[in-house]
Structures are given as C-alpha cells and as structure tokens.
Structure 1
Amino acid sequence: MEEIIRARGHEHVSATHASTFEVTSDDWLTPAGDCILAVEADRTPADFDREFVAACRDSDARIVAAFEAGERTETVVGRGHPELSFEDDRSAVGRTSDYVDDRTIMVGAEKAAEGFDREFVAALSDGAEVTVTLSVEPADGKGEQDR
C-alpha cells in the first residue's frame, strides 16, 4: 500500500533536527523549522486512505518513506504503532522515538532530518520539487504483490 505526497523544498531547509523529519502543507518556512524537508505538500495524513492507516497501526508493520528530488533519492525506514491516527491536516512527521501525535507517520525511524545526504538537502534548499512515497508492509511480511 502506498500514499504519495508532492511538495517542494524551500530556501530555509536546513535538515539539522536530530529526532524528526517533516513535510508540511504550509507555504512558508522559518530557519527555526530545522526538521522540515519540504513545504506546500499536496496531501497530509488526514487525506490518507483508511486501509493504509489501519496497516500502519500494527507495531510490527514496516513503513518506508522514499524521497525523490530530481535524480536524488533518500529513504527512511521506520515502523508502525497502534496509536497512529493520521488525523493532522497540516504536517507529516517521522520520528526516531516512539512518541506519537496526530502528525506522526512512523516511529523508530532509522534517521531524522540531520541524517539526510547534504547534497539532497542542498537541492531542497534550492526549492527542488520532491515526491514522498510512503509505503507500508504489514507485519505478516506480505506486500501487495504477495496478496
């Protein structure tokens, strides 16, 4: 199962946050937003299919966020959590911790914003268009092709 978000970078993207990464539907960003990778997202967690959300609520589910900006790609792997609600209508946040709120799209992420390749971050700070593909593999290990 997949959900796709299209957004763009911003001149203030610094990607220096140590425990989260974020994509927001806001059209602005201040230098203080050090976890934000992209703005003007065309979709938010509140828009995601309920079946996708249900699959992410399994603590054993594997969630992958694949970021593509031009020819550059970055991937973050995390996991699901029973309390994921996907109710926020503004931002999608991946977390290295187990903290969950209505913006959280994965917990236990293998990296946060500071872990993104600096060339990728430079492209985002130059305003590159970015596509974020979120996919979830249920705990049974069977992807769409196996069902």
Structure 2
Amino acid sequence: MEFIIKAYGHKNVSAKHKTTLEITKEDYLTKRGDCIIGIKANKSMLDFPDELKNKIREGGKFRIEIEVDGLKEIIEGYGHRDLLMTHPTDIVIRKSSYICPRTLMIKANKGARDINREIVKKLQEGKELIFKIIV
C-alpha cells in the first residue's frame, strides 16, 4: 500500500536534527525547526485511510520515500501498536521508540541530518517534496 503526501521546502530548512525528521501542514518554518524538511503538506495523519494506519500499527518494517526534483532518499523504520497518528498538522519520523500523536515511524534508520545534502539544498530553494509512505 502507498500513500503520497506533497509538501514544500523553505529557505530555513537546515535538516540538522540527528534523531527526528518532520513534515508539517504549517506554512512557515523558523530556524529552530531543524528537524522539519517540508511545510505546507497537503495531508495530515488525519487524512490517512484506516487501512494504512492499521498496517502501520501491526508493527512491521515499512519505508518512506522522499523525492525532491528527481533525487530520492529512502528511510526505513517500524510501526507500533500504540501509534495514535492523530496529529492535525505534524508527521514525525523518529530514530527512537518515543510515541506521541505526531509519531508516524519509530526506530528509523535516518533523522533529518542524514538526508542527502543535495536534497536539502533543493528544499532550501522551496522545491516540491513528495513524501511516499510504503507499507
């Protein structure tokens, strides 16, 4: 199953956070948001079909494909039965096992700082970001 979210970069994308990565529906980004790689997302976790949420809650490994201007990055991690996936604006991938309403993936193999710097550069130019969840 695939679910696609579109978002956009911003001049303040730094992608420096070592343990988390985030996209948001918010339309702004301050320099403090060092885990945020995309803003103005067209969907939140409230838009996820129940089938997708249920598969993620099975706790198996799944992946996220990030594509910006022809460049791709793949992030792998795990779901968990306790994931709420109810936050109205934020979608967070975590290297840790921490769970809150914003968490989509835990035990991920990458945080924001692990993203290809060429992708980060394109995001700083405001390019469109395709965020594909593949379960």
Counterpart of 1:24, as a letter, is T
Q: Which residue of 2 aligns with 1:120?
A: 119
Q: Which residue of 2 aligns with 1:2?
A: 2
CA positional deviation for 1:134 = 0.4
Structure 1's unaligned 5+ residue stretches are 137-147
Structure 2's unaligned 5+ residue stretches are none
Q: Deviations over 1:60-107 (max 9, x none)?
A: x11211011111111100011111111111010000000011111100
Q: Distance in 2 between matches of 1:89 and 1:77?
A: 23
Q: Which residue of 2 aligns with 1:139?
A: none
CA positional deviation for 1:131 = 0.6
Instruction: Tell whether 2:101 aligns with 1:105.
Output: no
Normalised by the length of structure 1, the TM-score is 0.90
CA positional deviation for 1:2 = 1.5
Please say which structure displays the higher CA radius of gyration.
1
Normalised by the length of structure 2, the TM-score is 0.98
CA positional deviation for 1:17 = 0.2
Counterpart of 2:24, as a letter, is T
CA positional deviation for 1:135 = 1.1
CA positional deviation for 1:46 = 1.1
CA positional deviation for 1:18 = 0.7
Q: Deviations over 1:24-57 (max 9, x none)?
A: 0000000000000000000011110001101101
Q: Distance in 2 between matches of 1:116 and 1:24?
A: 17
Instruction: Please provide the CA RMSD for this pair.
Output: 0.7
Show structure 1 runs of 4+ deviating over 2 A. none
Aligned with 1:119: secondary structure?
helix
Q: Distance in 1 between matches of 2:52 and 2:9?
A: 26
Equivalent pairs: percent with the same residue? 36
Point out the more displaced range, 34-43 or 69-78.
Answer: 69-78
